[in-house]
Structure 1
Amino acid sequence: MGMYHNRPHVEDIRKMKKSGRKISMLFVSTPDEAAAAAAAGIHMLSIEGRYFDPEMRQAAGDCFVQVGLPYGSYGSFAGRPLATAEDYLRAAFHFAGIGGDALYCAASYDIQKTLCDNYIPVVGHIGLVPSYITWTGWRAVGKTADEAVRIWRHTQKLEQIGVFGAELEVVPDRVAKFLTENSSLVMLGMGAGKYADAQYLFTEDVCGYGKNHKPRHGKVYRNLGPELEKIQDERVAAFKDYKADVDSGRYPGYEHTVPIVDAEFDIFMKIVKG
């Protein structure tokens, strides 16, 4: 969350919400994906902590980067699961030092509050929360009045403890509209309709190379799957040819070899043979 740079700060993202500007957001996991998003002018990126390093920060250019710390995940720098508020705080300062602009954290309220109390911009999670999936199953959340009230109370609680934004996942559009309009949280909508502050998709869905379940809200803009499969097939073929050359002695050939003139080699052999 470095101070001096050209990319947006939390304050700028909040201004975008206030003025009704649409925010685009992508989940990326490679420097190539991050660089493509930056070149395309995408506003925000979600990058999991295990992928976020100085190379990723540089590739992300002027995109605002939310560093994801899935609950109970291993801190890539700590080598142990994130469990306590102190673990999260250590992770937050580590990723802030690299240039993370906000930290995704869907842990307990007390852990989120500890981060907020230490001025870490926190993004929470509302609706379908993958790390709590055992409690809800894979489905839309908020389709009954009771459930919609529950996620509204959750929204209020996040706002109260100082959380700045939230992933709003697979929530009915009218409920999402109410939450977005009645909360200061920047709502990062994933399958939450057009009224969320941001629209957030996974690169694998946008580019058509996802191997996982295709969500209803996913939209394929280019189908790179077959091309990437072809590249992988060609990569395997190249490796097989290389191995065959090594096995048969065809590689390395003369053109891959550093020569030494006869006279120098003869002197060398005389010296070593004593």
Structure 2
Amino acid sequence: MSTAAQNRQLTPADIRARKGGPPIVCLTAYTTPVAKLADPACDLVLVGDSVGMVLHGLPSTLGVTMEMMILHGQAVARGLRRALMVVDMPFGSYEESPEQALRNAARLMRETGAAAVKLEGGGAMAETIRFLTRRSIPVLAHVGLTPQAIHTLGGYKVQGRGADRARVLADARAVAEAGAFGAVLEKVPAALADEITGEIDIPTIGIGASAGCDGQILVVDDMLGLFAEFRPKFVKRYAHLAEDAERAIATYAAEVRARTFPAQEHIFADEAGV
């Protein structure tokens, strides 16, 4: 592969072509600095509506607006050179009709530079996914636990156990047949996730699913230990930055109160160069 090909930004078609190949590495990002950190290692960066809970203190993703997604999408775009950027469609921006979804998806892509959008839902959203993909809007689907539907699902529960298995499998089949270039599987039993991965012809991206999925995604603040309000079972903490930050802030406060900061090396003299 040429250097130019290696350095170009990935596309939905590139991710689609990774089915059954090397695992696809995905993370969320909401800011330019985090996007710059994620870009060299990740294949796909999602501007997730989880931003509402992680950065804005909302109790769920339901309060996230188009304006919030556009603002954070623009910030993330400034930090990416290689990874594919996908932006979440917020609650209420696509469910009414395929036409509504097209208007809002086009706006997200136009105003952020995203190459694709993500929306939640399986069979019920198949018509919308088909409508969008036939009109040059690449769609990443999301089945299993869909956080925008927590009130109908009864909370953040594992989906696809027992009699519910057939529903989740049917949802995955439906979004693949409708033209999605990939499907996020959230909080789905590992055996079911493996069955879906083996059956559908688009990549599966697991989050609380199976190591056998075609890729994995985590909320970046979860895996860095920055968001400490709660910790889902599927999250592995690769760092503990909230604890580090808490200690650093406490040390800073103590030094300010003791007048040991700023020290001589942090202040300016009357004469230049001193």
Q: What is the TM-score normalised by the length of structure 1?
A: 0.74
CA distance in 2, matches of 1:84, 1:233: 51
Count of aligned residue pairs for this structure pair: 230
Letter in 1 for 2:114: G
The answer to whether the aligner puts 1:70 opposite 2:90 as a matched pair is yes
Q: For the residues of structure 2 that align with 1:64 and 1:205, how far apart are their CA atoms?
A: 21
Residue identity matched to 1:91: N
> Taking structure 1 as reference, are residues 148 and 44 closer, same or farther at Cα in structure 2, changes over 3 Å only?
same
Q: Any idea what SS the aligned residue of 1:90 has?
A: helix
Deviation string, structure 1 residues 233-256 (Cα, Å, up to 9, x no partner): 68889999xxxxxxxxxxxxxx8x
SS in 2 for 1:16: coil
In the superposition, relative to structure 1, how do residues 220 and 85 fare at CA in structure 2: closer, same or farther (>3 Å)?
same
Distance 1:193 1:160 in 2: 22
Alignment check: 8 A CA contact 1:52 1:67 kept: no
**Structure 2: stretches of 5+ with no match in the other structure:** 1-6, 49-68, 258-269
Amino acid at match of 2:45: L
1:116-155 equivalences in 2 (<5 Å)? 116-136=133-153, 137-144=155-162, 146-155=163-172
Deviation digits for residues 60-95 of structure 1 (CA, Å, limit 9, x no counterpart): 22111111112226xxxxxxx974433322232233
What TM-score, normalized to structure 2? 0.74
Aligned to 2:116: 102
- Percent identity between the two aligned chains: 25
Give the drift of 1:188.
Answer: 1.1
CA contact (8 A) 2:145 2:156 kept: yes
Aligned CA-pair RMSD = 2.9
C-alpha separation between the residues in 2 aligned to 1:69 and 1:149? 26
The equivalent residue for 1:38 is 39
CA distance in 2: counterparts of 1:236 and 1:132, whole angstroms:
42
Structure 1 equivalent of residue 103 of structure 2: 90
Residues 1:111 and 1:239: Cα distance change in structure 2 (over 3 Å): farther
Letter in 2 for 1:26: L
